[in-house]
Amino acid sequence: MPAMEPHCLLINLHKHMRHLEIAESSPAQIVSLTRAELDAVRALRLLDIAPTADPGLWELGAGRKIGVARAGDLQVTITPKIPIRRLIFLIGYSMSPSWSGDEVELDEEQDLLPAIAEAFSRLAQRALEQGLLNGYRSTEEALPVLRGRLRESEQLRRRFGWAIPLEVRFDDFTSDIPENQLLLAAAGTLLRAPGVGDLARQRLLRLRLQLADVALLQRGAPRPRWMPSRLNGRYQPALRLADIILAGDSFEHRLGDLTLTGFTFDMWRVYEDFVCRGLREAFAVHGGRIALQDRWHLDDNEAILMKPDLVWYVGGTAVVIVDAKYKAEKPQGFPDADLYQLLAYCTALGLHVGHLVYARGEAEPRRHRITGANVEIHCHTLDLQQKPQQLLDQLRRLAAAIASPASAPHGSTAVPSAAPSVCTKEAGGSVTVHVSERVDIVEQ
């Protein structure tokens, strides 16, 4: 078996368990797998798999997801290329721009799932130190005695004049409220996932016992919503992290003789949600209206649906279109698929400029003039290694650079000032155009 690269480790967890670890940013690795392990890897659908010329050796590469999964006797871990704390910030900010994530203490030395489980178990334990939070919940039931208010219309419709049972509505002071339901759901998700540390697992089991009177969320049911308030202040750090946990893809099922369990995040979705939410906040100072995943059609018959990530409207007219790409799409035979897609968006919306925002390292900042189409496509990059405030500053500078040319009066040209914040260059690499926070409008 060839020597393994540092980015890919295949080790024995114990006598009957093997652990395959691949870094998200690493190139595809050559790994020796038995037939049973190959079936397990394929069943998990987390890795890109290709055969090699040598029997028993397979080329494995990270796909769209990061996290941990187990199939039979094989555990697969895909580690993110950005720090865990940064990943949690991206997800948390997409849900609530007011959340900084400072209250979540994560051990950067641990893998993703053990770090999240450890942090959540500690936060939940701290939240319940003063006892369970209780609140009023409106309940509708059929009872033999009157409690609360009688629902007269329902009594007539369902009971046809019978005196009992009574259709009533009442407010019940209970611990079965959204805050506790979310904590219980997140604890259950982590307990089903592979790779959670022993100490965190003990805390999670204790948490589940404390929440024994709380109803379990039904699979596929919408997640209950909670609102920050003075009453649930001690719960809020744990609830923020619970929302992130429940936003992940948790699964547990059987496929033939294999038992599949796992907990993963789709990094493409995480990145897209963060960029769109961040740009929406950044564009707020420029007025207009931001639409995310707006529905457009490429053809007159409205048979070809398109949903650009972000469209900025000014006075009811689309003036800016942005598409976020975690990695450059390069399907076989179509190496520039992202550019074709954005060109179609610009054509349908009647825009002359479109913007692609990549994670830095996945594509180079460029400007492409499309021959015969009077369309320019600008490729920007976002450095995810930066700290949260610096990440948000990047988005604000990008929004300012994009908005200023788009809002320029007809017949004028946007001229960037001296201090550059985003660089784009010609496809040939000979010309560099600097775009800054401040853009001066020069009448022609």
Q: pLDDT at position 256, please?
A: 74
Q: Are 262 and 40 in contact (CB under 8 A)?
A: no
Q: At which residue do the structure tokens 């949600």 appear?
A: 273
* The predicted structure's pLDDT at residue 419: 34
For the chain, the residue count is 444
Report yes or no on 117 lying in a domain. yes
Identify the pLDDT of residue 423. 37
Considering the domain architecture, whether residues 409 and 358 belong to the same structural domain is answered as yes
**249-255 and 310-314 strand pairing:** unpaired
CB 142 within 8 A of CB 165: yes
* Residues 68 and 264 sit within 8 Å (Cβ to Cβ): yes
Note the pLDDT of residue 98: 77
Q: Is residue 344 within 8 Å of 323, Cβ to Cβ?
A: no
225 falls within a domain: yes
**Domain-embedded: residue 75:** yes
Q: Is the pLDDT of residue 427 over 50?
A: no
pLDDT value of residue 162: 74
pLDDT for the residue 280:
95
Q: Is 251 exposed, middle or buried (0-12, 13-18, 19+ CB in 10 A)?
A: middle
pLDDT tens by residue, 351-387? 999 999 999 876 678 899 998 888 999 999 999 999 9
Determine if the peptide bond prior to 165 is cis (ω within 30°).
yes
pLDDT at 185: 94
Q: Are 19 and 68 in contact (CB under 8 A)?
A: no
User: Going along 175-240, which residue ranges are E strands?
Assistant: none
CB 133 within 8 A of CB 231: yes
Can you give the pLDDT at residue 76? 87
163 and 74, same structural domain?
no
In a domain, 165, yes or no: yes
Name, in order, each residue with C-beta under 8 angstroms of 344's C-beta and a sequence gap of 6 or more: 298, 306
* Consecutive H or E run containing 272: helix 267-283
pLDDT in tens, 113-153: 899 999 999 999 999 999 999 988 777 778 777 877 787 77
Model confidence at 393, pLDDT cuts 50, 70, 90, reads very high
* Structural domain containing residue 168: 135-174
Number of domains in the chain: 4
In a domain, 396, yes or no: yes
What is the predicted pLDDT for the residue at 440? 30
Q: Which of 67-81, 304-318, 361-375, 424-438 has the highest mean pLDDT?
A: 304-318
pTM for the structure as a whole: 0.77
Contact by Cβ (8 Å): 231, 239: no
Q: Which residue, of 187, 212, 247, is where some domain finishes? A: 247
Longest dimension (CA), the chain: 86
Within this chain, do residues 361 and 395 fall inside the same structural domain, yes or no?
yes
Measure the N-to-C terminal CA separation of the chain; round to a whole number of Å. Answer: 67
DSSP-assigned states of every residue in 149-167: EE-HHHHHHHHTT--SSEE
**CA–CA distances in Å: residue 141 to residues 135, 137, 154, 212, 218:** 18, 13, 11, 22, 20
Q: What is the DSSP letter of 408?
A: S
Query: HEC states along 333-351?
Result: CCCCHHHHHHHHHHHHHCC
Same-domain pairing of 108 and 211: yes
Are residue 414 and residue 356 in the same domain, yes or no? yes
Binned at pLDDT 50, 70 and 90, residue 335 comes out as low
What gap in Å lies between CA 393 and CA 281, rounded to an integer?
11
pLDDT digits (tens, 9 = 90+) for 277-321: 999 999 999 989 999 999 999 999 999 999 999 999 999 899 999
Q: What is the pLDDT of residue 405?
A: 66
Residues 298, 392 within the same domain? yes
From the number of C-beta atoms within 10 Å of its C-beta (0-12, 13-18, 19+), residue 279 rates as buried
Domain co-membership, 90 together with 28: no
CATH number of the domain residue 390 falls in = 3.40.1350.10
147 and 274 housed in the same domain: no
Given a cut of 70, whether residue 165 has pLDDT beyond it is yes
Assigned domain for 308 exists = yes
Same domain, 292 and 329: yes
Query: Are residues 363 and 377 both part of a single domain?
Result: yes
Task: Provide the pLDDT confidence category of residue 332 given band limits of 50, 70 and 90.
Answer: low
Angle between helices 198-210 and 178-192 (to 10 degrees): 150
Q: Which of 174, 192, 223 is the last residue of a domain?
A: 174
> Over the chain, what is the mean pLDDT?
81
- What one-letter code names the amino acid at 344? A
Best CA proximity match to 264, nearest among 60, 71, 393: 71
